[in-house]
Structure 1
C-alpha cells in the first residue's frame, strides 16, 4: 500500500461542525462528525520513495473524515515519473484516505500516446495500482476496440480485457475472447475470428503491433475465401494490400468449380 502524502490546496473553505453530547452516568460519550466543503481542490499522491504517483483536481468537493466526494474532476496517473493517463469525470469518490477511487457518470481517459478510452465508470485501487471497468471503448489512429472485463495495470503500463472484445482494424472486424497489450506495445488477441471483405481468419492467436501495418497469427490458422480455404501454422497479413504469407503444414482446399470455365 502506498505511503501517501496528500497535499491539499483549497481556495474556498466552508466548514460545518455538528456536535452531539449524550450523557450516560457515570461516564460521558461524545459523538463528533465533521464535514468540509471546498472549491478549487488539488490533491497529490506520492509513492513510498517520494515520486509523484497521482494528482486529482476538482472544481468542488466535500470532505467527510478521510473520504472526498468531488465534482468536475481530473485524475492524472503517473508511470515512470511522467503523466501517463488522464481521466476526467463529472463525479469522483476518493476513499480510504486516497487508497481507493471511483469515477462515475461518464469517464474519458487519454493516454499520452494518443489512445482515448471511454466508459461509464472506473475504479482504481492503490493496493494493486490497477484501473478497472466493466466495459470500455478505446480508439486510436489505427483501430477501435470495445471490450468487457477491462483492467489497466499502471505498474506494467498495459491493458487487458478477458470477457470478450471487438476490434475494427483497417477493414477487419475482429471478435475474440481475450485481448492484451504487452510491454512492447504489441496487442495480442486470443481465440479470434477476423473478417475482411470476402475472407475470414480463424486462429487461436492474432497479433497486431501498432505502426507496422500488418497482423500475424500463430498456433494454427484457417483462412477462408469464397473459392476455398487455406490452413497453416502461421500467417503474416499485410493490411495495405491484403497480401499474405502462410507457413507450416500448409494445405489448400479449393471449391470444386474453382477452375470451371468455357476455355
Structure 2
C-alpha cells in the first residue's frame, strides 16, 4: 500500500518477445505493486521470475474484464497499487486494459503508465513505409463478410495501416487486403518481433499473400501503405525517372531514390524500378 493511503493503477508495458526489453522502470513498478493483474498469470509469473520478483497475481482478461475491473479499482480506491499487464506489449492496445483505465479515470483514481514495447510501432518502423501518419487497426473480423466490409471502409485511408494477424489466418487476411486495397499496394509482414527468429517480408500485398500460403508461425503484424493520393497513378514514367535522377544527382543512392519517388508519387516501387531500368 502506498504511503499516505493514495492508491494507483499502473499500466505496465511488457516485452513482446525478448525478455531483456523489460525496462528498469517496469521492474520497479511491478516490484512495488500490491497485486499484478495479468492476462495470463502463468506467462506473467515467468516474466516476474526472470526479473527476480515474486508478487501476488490476479487474472484479468477479456472474459472477466468487466467484473474484475471493479474489484481492482476498489483496491486502488482503498490505497493499493495495482499493476496491469498483458501477455506482451502495452495494455489497452488491442489487449485488455482500456476499460480499467477508463473506469479509473471516471472514478477520479490515479493512473500511471510505464511505456515500453508495442508490436505495431516496432513493425511500423521496420516496414520502411511512411511513419508520419498511421493507424493501428488491430485484428480484422474473423467472418469474411465483416472483414471485407471493414477493409472496404479503409481502402481510401491515406494513413499507413497496422494490423495484428493470427498466423493461421495470415494468407486469407492478406488476400482480402489485396482485394480491397489493390494487389500492388506496398506492405510489410513482421513476425516473431524482437525474438531470435525475427523476420520482415516487404513487397506488394499479393506477393505477401502468396508467401503466406506456405504457412506461418508466431505472432504476425502487417503494415500496409496508405491509399495513393488522387491522380497519383497519372504520373508518367518519364516524370518518375526524372525525379529519380534528380535525387541521385544530390547523392541519394538509386535504390533509396526509387523508393522515395514511389512513395511520394503513390505508385508501386516496381513500376519506378522498371521505368529506370528501361531508360538506362
The structure with higher relative contact order (CA 8 Å, sep 6+) is 2
TM-score between the two structures when normalised by the length of structure 1 = 0.30
Which structure is larger by alpha-carbon Rg, 1 or 2? 1
TM-score between the two structures when normalised by the length of structure 2 = 0.29
